[in-house]
C-alpha cells in the first residue's frame, strides 16, 4: 500500500529551485554596516557563463544550473539579460522525478524597467511565470493548464538582477568578516518578495594544491533557511551548501551535463526523513504528544483547536470533527481563505462546475467538505509529481500527490464558499517508519478542521504535525525545517 503514501513531502526538488531562483530579480535595499558603496549592483560589460552542479548529501550528481549574462539594450535602454537553465533528476520512494526550469530576465541599468519569463516543467506538467516592471509597477501573469492568472503590485525600489547559486551580480567579494548586507528579493516562482541576509563569516582557502584560492565564506539566510557559500575574488559562488545537505558546486558545463546524463541516483527520501525517538506512532492515531526541537528558540509552531503547545513545551495534537463551541476567526481571515489564487483557481468555470456537481443537494458546509474530500481522494491517481501544483491542472490531469490533492481540494471547497487553507508539515508513514513532509487542507466549518484527501481521512489523524500555514507563497518557509527538525513521541493513542 505504499502507493497511497508516496512522496509525502512538499517537494525538495522545488525547494532547490526556490533556492536558485530566490533573488534572480533583486529589489535593492542594502543595509551597509561596514560595506560602503562598493557592495552594489554591477552590470556585465561582456558576456559571461557559469555552471553549478547539484549534488546529493553523499555527493551523487542530481542536476545542474547554468546561467548566462550578456549586456543588452532594449528600447534604447542599456541593461543586462540573464538566461537560466536548470535540471534535476532524482528518486523519491522509488519514483524517478525530473524537473526542468528555463527562463530569462532583463533589467535596465536604471533598475526601473525590466522583464522576466520562466517556465518549470516536469513530465507533462508545466507552469510559466512572466511579467514586466514599468513605472514602479510589476505586472505579471501565471500560465497553467491553459489558464492565465494576472498579478500586479507596486515596487517602490530599484530592481537589479542577482541571485545566490552562481548567478549573483552583487560584489560579494567586498564583504569582510563580520560584514552583513540585507537584500530584499523578488521570487518569480511565487511572485512574492522576500529578504535575504548575507553575512561574511570568514576567509579561507578553497580548493587543493595549485588550484587553491582565497574565498570569502558567507551565510545567506532566506525564510530562516541558511545556506553557506564560498565566494571568489570576483564575487562569484564557488560552492553553496544547504542546511539539508544538498550542495551546489561550480563546474565546467560539459562535466555537469555528463554527470546529469548518468543513471538516476539512489532514492533521496532519507535526506529529508525525520526518524523520531520515543514511542512509535501509528496510523489513525487520535491523539499524540510530542517534543519538538531544532527549530530555533525564537520560532513557535502554529496552534489551533487540533494542535496546542503546553507550558512545558510539549505539543499536543488531537484533530477533531466539527462540534462544540464554534470560534470566529474574523471576517478578514475568512475572506483570505475564500479568495482565488494563481494556483488555487476557485473562480474558474471548470472548478466551479465540478464543485457544484460534487456537492449537489448538500446544504451543510461540513457535508460539502466531506463530499469534496471523498471525490478528490477517489478521483486523483496517487502518483509522485515534481511540479508547482495547480488546482486546474490537477483537475485536468487527475494525477498527483499531497501537494496536488491539497490545492485541488482547496479550490473546490472555496468555490463552494467554504474557507480553506493549506497546511504544510510532516506526517507519519508506517511503511517507511518516519515522518515525511506533507501537505493537507483545513476547512472552517464553525472551527478549523484538518482533512487529508491524500490518505482518505475526513479528519486527519494525530500523526500530522503542522509547521506552516498558507498558500504557495508561504511554502518556501518549510525549507527552514529541513535538516533541523527533531521529534520525540511522548504519548500516542
Q: What CATH class does 273-492 carry?
A: alpha beta
φ and ψ of 453, to 5 deg: -75, -10
Q: Does the pLDDT value for residue 142 go beyond 70?
A: yes
The Cα 231–Cα 87 span in angstroms is: 23
Q: Which residue has the higher pLDDT, 271 or 207?
A: 207
Instruction: Give yes or no for residue 463 having a pLDDT over 90.
Output: yes
Give the residue from 68, 82, 84, 80 showing the smallest Cα distance to 42.
80
**What local confidence, expressed as pLDDT, does residue 302 receive?**
92
User: Higher pLDDT residue, 265 or 254?
Assistant: 254
Residue-averaged pLDDT of the chain? 80
pTM: 0.82
pLDDT of residue 17: 46
More confident residue, 187 or 83: 83
The b/e string for 48-81 (b: 16+ C-beta within 10 A; e otherwise) is bebbbbbbbeeeebbbbbbbbbeebeeeeeebbb
The pLDDT, as a whole number, for residue 43 is 56
Give pLDDT tens digits for 275-320.
Answer: 999 999 999 999 999 999 988 777 789 999 899 999 888 999 999 9
| pLDDT given at position 267 | 65
Residue 168 has pLDDT above 50, yes or no: no
Contacts for 204-209 with beta carbons within 8 Å, 24 or more apart? 204/230, 206/230, 206/232, 206/238, 206/239
pLDDT bracket for residue 244 (50, 70, 90)? confident
Mean pLDDT on 241-265:
82
Residue 12 burial by Cβ neighbours in a 10 Å radius (0-12, 13-18, 19+): buried
CB contact at 8 A, 184 and 192: no
Q: What pLDDT, on the 0 to 100 scale, is given for residue 116? A: 86
The Cα 238–Cα 230 span in angstroms is: 5
The confidence score (pLDDT) of residue 192 equals 63
Evaluate whether 246 touches 62 at the Cβ level (below 8 Å).
yes
pLDDT of residue 139: 87
CA distance 284 to 452: 12
Contact yes or no for 16/64 (Cβ under 8 A): no
Whether residue 29 is predicted with pLDDT greater than 70 in this model: the reply is no
Percent of the chain whose predicted confidence (pLDDT) is above 70: 79
Could you tell me which residue, 220 or 253, shows the higher pLDDT?
Answer: 253
Q: How far is CA 338 from CA 9, 344, 369, 419, in A?
A: 25, 10, 14, 5
Looking from the CA of 154 toward its CB, the CA atoms found within 13 Å total 3
Give the start-to-end residue ranges of the domains of the chain.
2-260, 273-492
Question: What confidence score (pLDDT) does residue 343 get?
Answer: 87
Question: Residue 269: its pLDDT value, please?
Answer: 65
Instruction: Assign 181 a pLDDT band (cuts: 50, 70, 90).
Output: confident
Lowest mean pLDDT among 143-157, 170-184, 306-320, 404-418: 170-184
The rounded distance, in Å, linking the Cα atoms of 63 and 256 is 7
Quick one: pLDDT at residue 105?
Answer: 85
Per-residue model confidence as pLDDT tens digits over 417-443 = 999 999 999 999 887 789 988 899 999
Q: Quickly list DSSP for 230-294.
A: EE-TTS-EEEEEETTS-EEEE--HHHHHHHHTSPPPPP-GGGT-B--EESPP-TT-S-EEEEEES
Q: Which residue has the higher pLDDT, 161 or 126?
A: 126
Higher pLDDT, 193 or 239: 239
For β-strands 307-309 and 288-293, DSSP reports them as unpaired
Q: What is the pLDDT of residues 381-391, one digit of tens each?
A: 887 666 678 89
Q: Report which DSSP code applies to 183.
A: E
pLDDT at position 268 over 60: yes
pLDDT at 209: 81
The per-residue pLDDT for 263 is 66
Q: Which residue did the predictor score with more confidence, 142 or 24? A: 142
pLDDT at res. 456:
96
Whole-number Å distance between alpha carbons of 109 and 72: 10
pLDDT of residue 465: 97
Amino acid at each position: 500500500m505504499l502507493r497511497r503514501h508516496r512522496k509525502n513531502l512538499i517537494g525538495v526538488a522545488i525547494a532547490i529551485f526556490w533556492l536558485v531562483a530566490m533573488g534572480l530579480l533583486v529589489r535593492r535595499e542594502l543595509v551597509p554596516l561596514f560595506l560602503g558603496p562598493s557592495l552594489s549592483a554591477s552590470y556585465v560589460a561582456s558576456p559571461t557563463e557559469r555552471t553549478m552542479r547539484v549534488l546529493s548529501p553523499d555527493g551523487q550528481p542530481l542536476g545542474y544550473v547554468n546561467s548566462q549574462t550578456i549586456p543588452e539594450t532594449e528600447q534604447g535602454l542599456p541593461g543586462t539579460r540573464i538566461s537560466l537553465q536548470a535540471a534535476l533528476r532524482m528518486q523519491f520512494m522509488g519514483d524517478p522525478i525530473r524537473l526542468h526550469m528555463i527562463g530569462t530576465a532583463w533589467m535596465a541599468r536604471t533598475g526601473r524597467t525590466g522583464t522576466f519569463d520562466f517556465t518549470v516543467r516536469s513530465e507533462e506538467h508545466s507552469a510559466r511565470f512572466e511579467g514586466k516592471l514599468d513605472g514602479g509597477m510589476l505586472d505579471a501573469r501565471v500560465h497553467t493548464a491553459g489558464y492565465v492568472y494576472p498579478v500586479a503590485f507596486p515596487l517602490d525600489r530599484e530592481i537589479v538582477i542577482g541571485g545566490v547559486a552562481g548567478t549573483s551580480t552583487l560584489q560579494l567579494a567586498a564583504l569582510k568578516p563580520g560584514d552583513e548586507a540585507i537584500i530584499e528579493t523578488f521570487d518569480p516562482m511565487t511572485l512574492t518578495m522576500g529578504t535575504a541576509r548575507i553575512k561574511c563569516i570568514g576567509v579561507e582557502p578553497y580548493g587543493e594544491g595549485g588550484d587553491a584560492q582565497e574565498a570569502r565564506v558567507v551565510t545567506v539566510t532566506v525564510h530562516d533557511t541558511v545556506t553557506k557559500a564560498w565566494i571568489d575574488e570576483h564575487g562569484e559562488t564557488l560552492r553553496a551548501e544547504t542546511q539539508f545537505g544538498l550542495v551546489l558546486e561550480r563546474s565546467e558545463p560539459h562535466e555537469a551535463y555528463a554527470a546529469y546524463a548518468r543513471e538516476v541516483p539512489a532514492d533521496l527520501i532519507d535526506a529529508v526523513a525525520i526518524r523520531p525517538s520515543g514511542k512509535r506512532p501509528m496510523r489513525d492515531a487520535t491523539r499524540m504528544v510530542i517534543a519538538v526541537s531544532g527549530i530555533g528558540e525564537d520560532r513557535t509552531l502554529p496552534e489551533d483547536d487540533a494542535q496546542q503547545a503546553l507550558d512545558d513545551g510539549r505539543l499536543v495534537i488531537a484533530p477533531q470533527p466539527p462540534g462544540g463551541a464554534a470560534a470566529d476567526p474574523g471576517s478578514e481571515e475568512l475572506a483570505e481563505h475564500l479568495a482565488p489564487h494563481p494556483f488555487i483557481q476557485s473562480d474558474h468555470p471548470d472548478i466551479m462546475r465540478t464543485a457544484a456537481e460534487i456537492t449537489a443537494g448538500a446544504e451543510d458546509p461540513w457535508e460539502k467538505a466531506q463530499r469534496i474530500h471523498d471525490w478528490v481522494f477517489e478521483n486523483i491517481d496517487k502518483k509522485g509529481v515534481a511540479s508547482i501544483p495547480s488546482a486546474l491542472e490537477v483537475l485536468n490531469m487527475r494525477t498527483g500527490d499531497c501537494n496536488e490533492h491539497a490545492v485541488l481540494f482547496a479550490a473546490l471547497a472555496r468555490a463552494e464558499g467554504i474557507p480553506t487553507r493549506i497546511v504544510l508539515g510532516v506526517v507519519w508513514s508506517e511503511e517507511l517508519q518516519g515522518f515525511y513532509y506533507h501537505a493537507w487542507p483545513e476547512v472552517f466549518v464553525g472551527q478549523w478542521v484538518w482533512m487529508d484527501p491524500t490518505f482518505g481521512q475526513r479528519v486527519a489523524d494525530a500523526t500530522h504535525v503542522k509547521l506552516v500555514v498558507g498558500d504557495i507563497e508561504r511554502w518556501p518557509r518549510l525549507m527552514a525545517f529541513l535538516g533541523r527538525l527533531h521529534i520525540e513521541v511522548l504519548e500516542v493513542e
